[in-house]
Amino acid sequence: MDNQTKQTPSFLRSVHMWILGIPLISSAIVLIGVLQFDTSRLSLFGPTAKIYFFGIRNGLIWGVCILLLAFVLFSFFEKKIQDIQGKLKHFYLSLNTTRQNILVLVLCMIFVFASNGGNITHGYFNMDDLTIVGLNHSLPFREAVLTPYGNDHAFPLFITEMKALDVLFGQNPAPYNFFFFILFSLIPFFTYLIFKRLKLSALSFIAFLIIFAGAAGWTEIITGFYIMSIYPQILLFFSIALWAYLSWKESKAAKYMITFAIALILALASDTSGIWVIPVIILFMLGVYYFGENAHKQENMPAPLKTMALLDKNLIKETEKYQNEIH
């Protein structure tokens, strides 16, 4: 281990501690402010405002509890966790790539459904949802799908989804909720594929998954206000685009570039607000290119970037060293 690595405290070399610690502190600060807020002031904005507020509050409470528990476990039982990780990694590596991906997808679904699955049977159509359902019933689909909603919104993909679900299930909320939770589960799955392409450690992904499933309490809003699902759907297509770009960069296979283009189109088709995906992906491409081209010149990086570049590599080295010791 080089001198610079030795000078870096162990805590700073643990990416997963950063991933858990920063959201924990941020969420706790926000939760304190939310708990002190006078909810009677929301009466001026109607019942929908309270739905948003209580959904966010409950999500923050559960999120802080889960993040705190995870942070404590990683802080005081890290070596035990690394031991378990080594055994799981051995099992994981014994599987072929397809089975590995299926295993991770099932894990993502378990995390998401465990923290939010109780909402599947809970649901109703609210405000904008009723407008979309009415639009699909009153106009031919070819007209409804391109009809702008309000003055500045157009979401043909969401209208198409609502039309298909309406034809298949009517207004029964359970299939809608189940469908959107499946989409929601795919976000951490494609994040896993991104982490894998970037060669980030498994602990980093588990930390992300804990945050995503535990702290993302806003899924409570989605189950019963379905039009809100356009935002996680945009995030899903964004993560698919990132994975497709990294896969194309590595293999140059045309299928990944086609997937990349389709993901961008679907992000924009979800809602006009999906336009943010384009500049963020451009910045991501530039970042991947810069760090890829300058990987051998880390000594010239600014100190914060250099530290972050070393974090995950050092964690992997420490984990492998520990596993060799116990064996």
Tens digit of pLDDT for each residue in 198-232? 887 777 787 777 777 655 555 555 566 677 778 88
Average pLDDT value for residue range 91-106: 86
Q: In whole angstroms, how far apart are CA 142 and each of 130, 138, 150, 158?
A: 19, 12, 18, 14
250 confidence band (pLDDT: 50, 70, 90):
confident
What would the two tokens of residue 176 be? 């809608």
Domain region containing 271: 7-315
Strand partners, 153: 149
pLDDT in tens, 140-168: 877 777 776 655 566 788 888 888 888 88
Could you give the percent of the chain with pLDDT greater than 90? 11
pLDDT of residue 224: 60
State both tokens at 207: 């930390």
- Supply the pLDDT for residue 236: 92
Gap between the Cα atoms of 275 and 265, Å rounded: 10
State phi, psi for 153 to the nearest 5 degrees. Answer: -120, 140
pLDDT at residue 248, as a whole number = 92
CB 174 within 8 A of CB 120: yes
Residue, of 77 and 115, whose pLDDT is higher: 77
Residue 324 lies inside a defined structural domain of this protein: no
Token pair 């997963």 in the structure block, residue? 16
321 falls within a domain = no
By the 8 A CB rule, do 55 and 218 touch? yes
Number of domains in the chain: 1
Does residue 182 surpass a pLDDT of 80?
yes
pLDDT band at 134 (very low <50, low <70, confident <90, very high): confident
The lowest-confidence range among 111-125, 126-140, 150-164, 192-206 is: 111-125
Average pLDDT, the chain: 74
1 belongs to a structural domain: no
User: Would you say residue 51 has pLDDT above 80?
Assistant: no
In a domain, 325, yes or no: no
pLDDT of residue 245: 93
Distance (Å, whole) CA 261 – CA 178: 27
Question: At 135, which helix (H) or strand (E)?
Answer: helix 128-138
178 vs 189, higher pLDDT: 189
Q: Percentage of the chain with pLDDT > 70?
A: 72
Look at 174 and 2; give whichever has higher pLDDT: 174
Residue 327 lies in a domain: no
Q: Looking at the domain assignment, is residue 116 inside a domain? A: yes
pLDDT at position 318 is 47
Inside any domain, residue 320: no
Interacting residues of 201 by C-beta distance below 8 A, sequence separation 6+: 15, 16, 312, 315, 316, 319
Model pTM score: 0.69
Predicted local confidence at residue 47, as pLDDT: 65
Question: Per the domain annotation, does 88 fall within a domain?
Answer: yes
Comparison of pLDDT for 153 and 189, the residue scoring more: 189
